[in-house]
Structure 1
Amino acid sequence: MSAAVAAAAAETRPPPPALNGALNGHALLNGDRRWEDHFLPTPLRLDDKIRAQKIEARISKMVLCGATLRRVADVFEHEIEAGLQERPSSLQMENTYVPELPDGTEEGSFLALDLGGTNFRVLFLELRSGQLVQEKVKQYHISDALRLGPGDDLFNFLADCVQDFICAEGMENDTFSLGFTFSFPMKQHSISSGELITWTKSFKCGGLEGVDVAALLQQCLRARNLDVTVRVLLNDTTGTLVAGAHADPAVGIGVILGTGSNGCYMERAERVQHWERPHQTVHDVCVDVEWGAFGDNGCLNFLRTEFDDEVDARSLLVASFTFEKYIGGKYLGEILTSVLSALARDKLFPAAPRPSFLQTAHVSLFEEENCAGEVSRTLAALHDACGADVTLSSADALVAQHVAHVISNRAAQLVSVCISTLLRRMDRPYVGVAVDGSVYKHHPRIAHLMDKYITLLAPDHPFSLRGAEDGSGKGSALTAAIAARIAVRES
């Protein structure tokens, strides 16, 4: 190992992660470092100090200080209030009409449908005294023709899959309540009704914008003589919150940090302007923030760098999903490519990576090797990305690792701003935060960084980050059980 690599390893290896939320914001300030300094990424250490300084200067706009993060928090809070009051905002702040979380009394057998990607799942779950005692799952592939064709074709296919699943399990004569996870922006009218606002990801079916997708699914199920009632319509973020609360009743925030990103939380009912049903007995209600679009109205332009502009210009949805492009797994690899390409143009890196070659998995790989003080796999990936004829050194690998670290650090900071703001709004003695998504699960540093930054930004609000599994499936069925419980109580 070279001296530069060894030095970088010592500088960048994080301490063993504490239990989520165990860090104390006040204790963090008892050392010699200022509050601001705790947000800075580890400096780039190279034998060539002039090169290191030039690289740091070139990417300095991606390094966010504490004051900038507080400004983001202030803007986020303003957008939250505007959205809740149905004033112009880049945050949808959608009322999901989910008025309570699992309490251990959930009973019965339920179906769940999970639509959010090219693979669609049908699930059967049996609950006894709130515990999952049986689960069956079948996965179906959604073709390009269905994802891009008429919306009616897609929903008829979904109903065909439900029928296939029920018949395969010998349950065609049974009666079911169903939870439908539809992970696209919606305007909800009730816990079981909502209109598609816009398709995202790889979907663009015609004729469905403004259509009540739950009612359409119900229509298709009835056409097949299936005794299945759509009780709940929700997205994967709400499902993550519900699944997390099933494991820990203190959970009050759900977060997705994967290919895309979003959050939801339990808000006081009187703060929510949009209601389409009586709610006098509702104390709290789950609000879907839809923070992927945070900044689409220009309120976060002070954060943008030339690298973000480049990634946005190359994206399928230009000038939209602004915040998601800072933190989502779909984009972190693209930011890495953009930065390394700029450094190559400035003769600070050997060559620009091929477009779209570096993915978020490479960001995680570079970070993993950075933590371990290694460079071999980083060099191999860079050779593949830049070309086998390009000469790359250990120092070049350290540069790429540092860029990945700065990108990851910014992503952790920004999602932490959102979570810390929600913690302050909820103002509870303790809140569990259920998190799902590939970036959270597979990035070697992100959970530790989020724990640190949330603590710094909301030092008086104890919390814990906990991984949540299958909110889009299990959470959907649990929410259907909650809806069934409420219906019995109100009948």
Structure 2
Amino acid sequence: MERGIHEQPSSLQMENTYIPELPDGTEEGMFLALDLGGTNFRVILLELSNGALIREKVKHYHIGEELRLGCGERLFDFLAECVSDFVRSHDLTGIRLPLGFTFSFPMIQKGLDVGILVTWTKSFNCPSVVGRDAVQMLREAINRRGDTHVEVLAVLNDTTGTLIQGAVLDRRTVIGLILGTGSNACYMERADRVQHWEGQRHGEKQVIIDIEWGAFGDNGVLDFIKTDYDRKVDDNSLITNSFTFEKYISGKYLGEIVRVILVKLVEDCVLFGGTASDMLLTSGAFTTSFVSLVEQDTVDDSCDSTSEIFDKLGLSYDPDDITIVKYVCETVSNRAALLVSICTATLLERLDCPDTTIAVDGSLYKYHPRLKSWMNKYIRLLAPGKKFRLLLAEDGSGKGAGLVAAIALRLKQRFSDT
């Protein structure tokens, strides 16, 4: 972290988000949020009064493959078309609407409203957008239509949105954490520690730093914990030797780590009588949701879900097989909980707050029955004396983006007055 924040070689990007404050309860008015990160994207209207949400309207739009993989201008024209449709359908055409844009792809931020796309991930690949400012492209598309008064004021990712959304629920929130298909974290850093700052500083005391910890270890610093199973998972992944930390801990990979271990145990004739099914040998067949179900069986002292999973995978099994698979799921899950906790505890130590709330979102955190209790236990061990709590803060990519638009508007008005 120290290296990354001082722009020295590091596998942590430590990206400056240029968000220098959290919601303070004065947010007032109507704000739009745009959430782009998957095949369905959302336009959201938030109406705030004294910082509290009094009205929320959401509409989902499907982005077809031809738009996700084609010309960048066409993709952004489609986004602008959806914004226009949303504004019209809610009779807001004549109203000036500040907008926060959640763009959940790796980007370099050069300001609160400048996000340069580094690389597409997930199911998107519009080559003409790489290296360009997503905010500028969205603004141009909105201006080409000229039928709304929407003003794009800020760009952020879902992790930053989670921190902002958490701060509304609990004022002590200074860390945002995503534990879902992928994983990332951000936190409130002292502004004087931050080297990378383009444009004018306005006496900011603090700023949200987006760690981008999914790529932690891409430079080899985490290889000392890498097992043969991890190497196999990495070899079968879309981009090898990348997102190292994410491959140890996130929902996209935990099930696959378990599957690779089970296949090895079958080969060693200690599981399923030495016979694997075709399904078990298929990459991705043992999902992370299966891991959560097996773990729930362990908690409940049951084997119903585990038996059902074995049946689905076409496996012949006995009680010993159930015990072994439960043990494997527990071990892989426990390692993930410990790794996340080590990094979270490091953040707590760095922040030096007397009492900290950590806002968390993501499917793995929500649905894994033991992750939260393990994290509470390990973070206490690793950051002794630090008072903290984990808070589920859902939909940072939606509500958080609207709140960031409100903060951006406040900053804009403040700076224009000075």
Q: Please, what TM-score do these two structures have when normalized by structure 2?
A: 0.96
1:397 to 322, 338, 361: 322
Bigger CA drift: 169-178 or 124-133? 169-178
Work out the CA distance in 2 between the residues paired with 1:202 and 1:312.
Answer: 19
- Establish whether residue 313 from structure 1 lines up as the match of residue 238 from structure 2: no
- Tell me the distance in 1 between the aligned counterparts of 2:71 and 2:271: 47
Residue 43 of structure 1 corresponds to: none
Separation in 1, partners of 2:328, 2:8: 38
What amino acid does structure 2 have at the position aligned with 1:396?
D
Asked if 1:208 corresponds to 2:136, the answer is no
2:233 counterpart letter in structure 1: V
Matched, 1:168 2:85: no
Select the structure of larger CA radius of gyration.
1
| CA distance in structure 1 between the partners assigned to 2:285 and 2:205 by the alignment | 49
Within 5 Å, give how 1:204-243 maps onto structure 2. Answer: 204-225=125-146, 226-243=148-165
Q: Distance in 1 between matches of 2:28 and 2:199?
A: 25
For the pair 1:465 / 2:390, whether they are aligned, the reply is: yes
Distance in structure 2 (CA, Å) of the matches to 1:165 and 1:468: 25
- What residue is the counterpart of 2:187 in the other structure? 265
Question: In structure 2, what residue type is equivalent to 1:477?
Answer: G
Q: Who is 2:285 aligned against?
A: 357
Offset at residue 214 of structure 1 (A): 0.4
Which of 368, 376, 384 is the equivalent residue of 1:443? Answer: 368
The 1-side partners of 2:65 and 2:202 are apart by: 45
**Is the CA contact (8 Å cut-off) linking 1:379 and 1:394 kept in structure 2?**
no
Contact 1:114 1:122 in 2 (8 A): yes
Partner of 1:338: 260
What is the deviation of 1:200?
Answer: 1.4
Partner SS state of residue 79, structure 2: helix
Deviation of 1:147 after TM superposition, in Å, equals 1.6
Inter-partner Cα distance in structure 1 for 2:64 and 2:320: 45
Please tell me the residue identity of whatever aligns with 1:434.
A
Is 1:378 the equivalent of 2:328?
no
**Residues 141-188 of structure 1 deviation map (CA, whole Å, 9 limit, x = unaligned):** 112222222222211111111011111112122211100000111100
Does structure 1 residue 86 correspond to structure 2 residue 7?
yes
State the Cα distance separating 1:441 from its structure 2 match. Answer: 0.4
Between the aligned partners of 1:198 and 1:206, the Cα distance in structure 2 is 9
Identity %: 53
User: Which residue identity does 1:438 align to in structure 2?
Assistant: S
How many angstroms apart in 2 are the aligned matches of 1:238 and 1:485? 18
Report the equivalent of 1:52. none
CA contact (8 A) 2:354 2:386 kept: yes
Where do 5+ consecutive residues of structure 2 fail to align? Answer: none
| Contact 1:104–1:129 (8 Å) recurs in 2 | yes
SS at the partner of 2:85? Answer: helix
Aligned AA (1:330): K
Query: 1:427 is matched with which residue?
Result: 352
Cα separation, 1, equivalents of 2:198 and 2:163: 23
1:132, distance to aligned residue in structure 2 (A):
0.6
Q: Which amino acid aligns with 1:214?
A: V
- Judge conservation of contact 1:383–1:392 (CA < 8 Å) in 2: no
Instruction: Return 273-282 or 100-109, whichever deviates more.
Output: 273-282
1:19-418 alignment runs, 5 A limit: 80-225=1-146, 226-350=148-272, 351-352=275-276, 353-355=280-282, 356-385=284-313, 387=314, 390-418=315-343
- Work out the number of aligned pairs and report it: 409
Distance in 2, Cα, partners of 1:318 & 1:145: 26
SS in 1 for 2:264: helix
* SS, match of residue 323 in structure 1: helix
8 A Cα contact 1:110 1:177, kept in partner: yes
- Could you give the per-residue CA deviations for residues 211-266 of structure 1, whole angstroms, max 9, x where no partner exists? 00001000000111121111010000000000000111100000000000000000
Partner AA of 1:407 in structure 2: V
Partner of residue 29, structure 1? none
Q: Which amino acid aligns with 1:177?
A: P
Deviation at 1:201, TM superposition (A): 1.7
Alignment match, 1:32: none
SS of 1:98's partner is coil
Counterpart-to-counterpart distance in 2, 1:100 and 1:153: 35
Contact 1:120 1:139 (C-alpha < 8 Å) held by counterparts: yes
Structure 1 segments of 4 or more deviating over 6 A?
Answer: none
Contact preservation (8 Å) 1:194, 1:213:
yes
Shift of 1:460: 2.0
CA-CA distance at 1:297 after TM superposition? 0.7
Q: Secondary structure at the match of 1:207?
A: helix
Give the secondary-structure state (helix, strand or coil) at the position aligned to 1:330: coil
Ranges in structure 1 where 5+ consecutive residues have no aligned partner: 1-79
Deviates more, 1:197-206 or 1:315-324: 197-206
SS in 2 for 1:105: coil
Q: Distance in 2 between matches of 1:112 and 1:314?
A: 36
The CA deviation at 1:280 is 4.5
2 CA distance for matches of 1:366 and 1:175?
Answer: 51
| Paired letter, 1:361 | S
Distance 1:280 1:223, change over 3 A: closer
1:70-99 deviation per Cα after TM superposition (whole angstroms, max 9, x unaligned): xxxxxxxxxx11110111111110000000
Moved more, 228-237 or 348-357: 348-357
Contact 1:176 1:229 in 2 (8 A): yes
RMSD: 1.0
